[in-house]
Structure 1
Amino acid sequence: MDLRPAEVTSILEKEIESFGGASQMQSVGTVLTVGDGVARIHGLDNCMMNELLEFPGDVQGVALNLEEDNVGCVLLGSASKVREGDTVRGTGRIISVPTGEKLLGRVVDALGNPVDGKGPLGTTDADLRPIEQPAPSVVERQPVTEPLQTGIKAIDAMIPIGRGQRELVIGDRQTGKSALLVDTILSQKNTGGGDPSNPEQVICIYVAVGQKQSTVVDIVRRLESENAMAYTIVVSASAI
């Protein structure tokens, strides 16, 4: 069968038009070693500092150590799911977490993913904020001018804490550190009636790192029973 040049050109143009969308370049590497929650990865030549990396088994990590021949990555999930030789994919995105009023009353993990079974947060890309941000200068910070009432008379009278002040609570195990902080959260209902839309209401964030999941559940239930979750966010990076 003879084909004229115009027909050949027409066939080629149709094939080109029917070809799939533009190809996407993706950075891919291989796990060299893994241990103590840290993975060494080879092949991610274009990896950025604080870039979010994806591992098999829905495990994610963040690149923190960029070397000439490998990348050091801190795993944000179960390290037992990651094996030497696994394929790692770069996302090209700096690790970010959702922020805003939609997180009030919710329990999220370290990446801001909801873990309370109440559905998605409803946040958008505009609500994402990189985890690493330049700290405000001393001039930009609002001065500490009023106390934060903890509800514990011994503290409020003898060693008052300023609203906006950083305070460290130190104690041995089972001495009531968590109970003290939960009581402080409950006391903040008096600042604005527990209404987060009230500008006087203190917004509380309870971060549980390494605590048992059952302990976190008990704390959330107590906050809910006291109607304190309306102005509280719980971040749970719990132990198994």
Structure 2
Amino acid sequence: MQEVGVVVEVGDGIARVVGLQRAMASEIVAFPQDIYGLVLNLEEESVGIALFGDSDRIQEGDEVHRTRRVLETPCGDALLGRVVDPLGRPLDGKGPIENTVMRKAEIIAPGVIDRKPVDTPLQTGLKSIDALTPIGRGQRELIIGDRRTGKTAIALDAIIHQRGTDVLCVYVAIGQKTSSVARIVDTLARHGAMEYTIVVSADANSPTPLQYLAPYAGCAMAEHFTYGGKDAFVVYDD
């Protein structure tokens, strides 16, 4: 028997719904007009749902249907060379993406014992980094600085430098202007880097919940390659 709830309040990308007592945290639910949401807040009388679409299209009294599926992200080689949103929907006008596999967007991270030691460098192509502060495969690195100081350029140079190596790349653009994302994609394409890169974009016009999801989606796509025995390089750029 399908469980159906009703919207009692909506605003700022969040819908409050009653009647979904059995909803799970991080479950995907379906609204009218092909809008989906993510269950984030479980309360005694209602649930709070983050909307992956325009909240103005959702009205009080609309029905909400459970899917009984937790949040998953499409992954696989078919995404290489494409620009997608955090739900894996294409944004580049190149048609639908097929032959993907689904992977949970949020999983338990492996423990320290299960992780391999960092023993292989990731060449960025920047001598000042590779010689003085080398980055290892399996390592995280924070790039900070004032506006327009070249932070994105460093990340793009590192992606471009992976051409001809066994490293696959995922670039996650969070809250950026659409024009900025388009320039980045053009730069990667001109240098032949889109062949081994996935661009995940949740631009400034995207709903806030979609921007929240972007890092999880990018990480899941990269982990798919990692657990398949490949190396992956992920850039989160906000």
TM-score between both structures, scaled by the size of structure 2? 0.80
After superposition, the C-alpha distances for 1:55-83 in whole angstroms (9 at most, x for unaligned) are 23322111021111111112222333333
Report the secondary structure of 1:80's partner residue: helix
The counterpart of 1:230, out of the listed 195, 217, 225, is 195
Report the secondary structure of 1:157's partner residue: helix
- Matched-pair contact (CA < 8 Å) for 1:54–1:91: yes
Q: Shift of residue 164 of structure 1?
A: 1.4
Q: Shift of residue 153 of structure 1?
A: 1.5
The alignment status of 1:184 with 2:149, answered yes or no, reads no
The structure having more radius of gyration, on CA atoms, is: 1
After superposition, the C-alpha distances for 1:125-149 in whole angstroms (9 at most, x for unaligned) are xx11111211112122122102111
- Matched-pair contact (CA < 8 Å) for 1:96–1:131: yes
Output the CA distance in 1 between the equivalents of 2:12 and 2:145. Answer: 26
After superposition, the C-alpha distances for 1:153-179 in whole angstroms (9 at most, x for unaligned) are 211222111111011112222222212
Output the CA distance in 2 between the equivalents of 1:79 and 1:64. Answer: 16
Output the CA distance in 2 between the equivalents of 1:165 and 1:78. Answer: 37
Instruction: Determine the structure 2 residue equivalent to 1:66.
Output: 42
Report the secondary structure of 1:123's partner residue: coil
1:61-210 equivalences under 5 Å are 61-124=37-100, 127-190=101-164, 192=165, 201-210=166-175
Output the CA distance in 2 between the equivalents of 1:106 and 1:141. Answer: 30
Letter in 2 for 1:102: A
- The aligned length equals 205
**Greater relative contact order (Cα 8 A, min sep 6): structure 1 or 2?**
2
Letter in 2 for 1:223: L
- Matched-pair contact (CA < 8 Å) for 1:206–1:233: yes
Letter in 2 for 1:39: A
Output the CA distance in 2 between the equivalents of 1:204 and 1:213. Answer: 20
Runs of 4+ that moved beyond 3 A:
none
After superposition, the C-alpha distances for 1:78-137 in whole angstroms (9 at most, x for unaligned) are 33333333322211211111111111111111111122122222135xx11111211112
Report the secondary structure of 1:91's partner residue: strand
Output the CA distance in 1 between the equivalents of 2:144 and 2:36. Answer: 32
Output the CA distance in 1 between the equivalents of 2:23 and 2:182. Answer: 37
1:17-96 equivalences under 5 Å are 25-96=1-72
Letter in 2 for 1:129: R
TM-score between both structures, scaled by the size of structure 1? 0.80
Output the CA distance in 2 between the equivalents of 1:149 and 1:52. Answer: 39
- Structure 2 stretches lacking a partner, 5+ long: 206-238
